[in-house]
Amino acid sequence: METLSALLYLVASVCFIMALRGLSSPETSRQGNLYGMVGMTIAILTTLALPIVQSYWMIVLGIAIGGGIGYVIAKKIEMTALPQLVAAFHSLVGLAAVFVALSAFYSPEAYGIGVPGAIAKGSLVEMALGTAIGAITFTGSIVAFAKLQGLVTGKPLVFPFQHHLNAALGVLTILLILWLVQSNSSAALWLIVGVSLALGFLLILPIGGADMPVVISMLNSYSGWAAAGIGFTLQNNLLIITGALVGSSGAILSYIMCKGMNRSIFNVILGGFGGESAAAAAGVGGAERGTVKAGSPEDAAYIMKNAQSVIIVPGYGMAVAQAQHALREMADLLKKEGVDVKYAIHPVAGRMPGHMNVLLAEANVPYDEVFELEDINRDFGTADVAFVIGANDVTNPAAKTDPQSPIYGMPILDVEKAKTVFFIKRGMAAGYAGVENELFFRPNTMMLFGDAKKVTEEVVKATE
Ligand code: NAP
């Protein structure tokens, strides 16, 4: 049985690796998902068939309660609320890691790692690391959830000597781990829980709204490492592999997003990046104001029909309005008129990594018309029209010109270089980072005020 389960765990692990590979491109993502589902089914069935499972009723009850809650949430959740849902789920992974470590500490015989007061040193290290990472993930994810849900301000919360305090708590955690390993003391373990809970809270608190995407993927990575820690405690190879896959892919994604946002990965891990400048000036764009020119959908249709090239820049507002289908219809009509139409995707457009790609794929936008920032930014200089639909921060030149801005340093889509820029949005509100966008006042900008879907549908009507 042991050899068979090891073999099946290996097959499941390979499925998970294939799943990650598949998810790296929109074309293969469905297949990737399928691999993931097959792998998870094999993993669950194999685990349930292990001889250590002595009774099923608790497991079935857990699956029924957890599965039921998950089903209801999945049915109800709006696409735009997914980031906070992900953050909430990460917190549960962290909490589970803490619970598993605590139960292993109080019943080590059940885990085959010793007896109370004399637990194997290696197991104590694994337990302590799982507890610390799990507790940091738990409170960090709760703060991220509260920020994304708007329960607390998205602005960075900074106070003097914050980094020193974080560093001191980090060192204290290491000392407590050493104490636990030396003494088997329950006080040491509970102190690790307490200090790590505080650390998770303090690490995420100073992070500003515009940097939340990186935080989400970083917490995703932490939750993976916490799961790997549980795997060591439970001596379950598959959990170790799966946790490590989640941990490392989350870390790679964070690295890619840091590069996209021009941030340092070390600052993210240590918490509080971008905090100082953001605190100084959130909400102030330093914009030179001019007059705002509002246009009609008919104006937009006329200009785009007569253009040679149009670059569409989708953002969070497109997701809110669910305007992707109308948008594709508009693009199809323009293509029929001989216009070259492309889509430009900023790495943090929307509210989760890949948000815009998912919505455009849902509307069957051809993949070869969708370009990443670095592949298309040059084209704005020769484009006739930039059609910005519900995007704001990702086009804001304050990221290049205002060192005091919370988004300073983030690469942006250079929409202002196009001959005409349309901004579809409901009013003059700032984007997620709370910074005014001076492009709204530029002479080559025309605002198309209204709900993104409604306005696009009217453009479609006027184009037909
Ligand atoms: P954004 O800066 O948040 O701007 C979205 C704009 O859409 C708003 O200015 C809003 O203006 C408009 N809008 C909202 N609902 C609309 C509707 N129904 N119809 C038309 N317009 C609507 O969005 P973004 O340019 O996509 O930038 C993303 C921001 O979110 C960045 O700051 C990024 O750092 C942050 N973020 C990203 C992620 C991620 O993983 N991608 C995660 C968390 C945070 P009105 O209210 O005036 O209409």
Domain range holding 161?
A: 77-280
Asked whether residue 98 falls in the same domain as residue 244, the answer is yes
Asked whether residue 275 falls in the same domain as residue 303, the answer is no
Q: How far is CA 295 from CA 152, 385, 398, 450, 455, in A?
A: 36, 14, 24, 11, 11
Ligand 1 nearest-atom number relative to CA 217: 40
Planar angle of CA 66, 213, 228, nearest 5 degrees: 50
Planar angle of CA 427, 151, 213, nearest 5 degrees: 75
Atom 22 of ligand 1: nearest residue by CA position? 317
Ligand 1 nearest-atom number relative to CA 257: 40
Residue 453 CB–ligand 1 contact under 6 Å: no
> Is residue 172 included in any domain, yes or no?
yes
Contact 443, 290 (CB under 8 A): yes
The best mutation among 80, 147, 352, 393 to test binding of ligand 1, ranked by most ligand atoms within 8 Å of the C-beta, falls on 393
Contact 135, 94 (CB under 8 A): yes
Atom 21 of ligand 1: nearest residue by CA position? 425
What whole-number distance in Å separates Cα of residue 201 and Cα of residue 146?
Answer: 11
> Is residue 375 included in any domain, yes or no?
yes
> Which ranges of the chain have pLDDT less than 70?
154-156, 209-210, 268-289
Residue 228 CB–ligand 1 contact under 6 Å: no
- The residue type at 422: F
- Of 273, 217, 272, which Cα lies nearest the Cα of 248? 217
Per the structure, the count of domains in the chain is: 2
Residues with a known catalytic role: 393
pLDDT tens digits, 84-100: 898 899 899 999 999 99
CATH of the domain at 410: 3.40.50.1220
Q: How high is the pLDDT of residue 287?
A: 46
Residue 207 CB–ligand 1 contact under 6 Å: no
List, as one string, the DSSP characters of 144-185: HHHHHTTSS-SS----TTHHHHHHHHHHHHHHHHHHHHHH--
- The residue type at 84: Q
Asked whether residue 128 falls in the same domain as residue 96, the answer is yes
pTM over 0.85: no
Q: How high is the pLDDT of residue 268?
A: 67
pLDDT tens digits, 401-442: 988 887 888 899 999 999 999 999 999 999 888 889 999 999
Contact 299, 446 (CB under 8 A): yes
Ligand 1 nearest-atom number relative to CA 410: 34
Helix 324-336, helix 355-362: angle, nearest 10: 70
The best mutation among 345, 392, 440, 454 to test binding of ligand 1, ranked by most ligand atoms within 8 Å of the C-beta, falls on 392
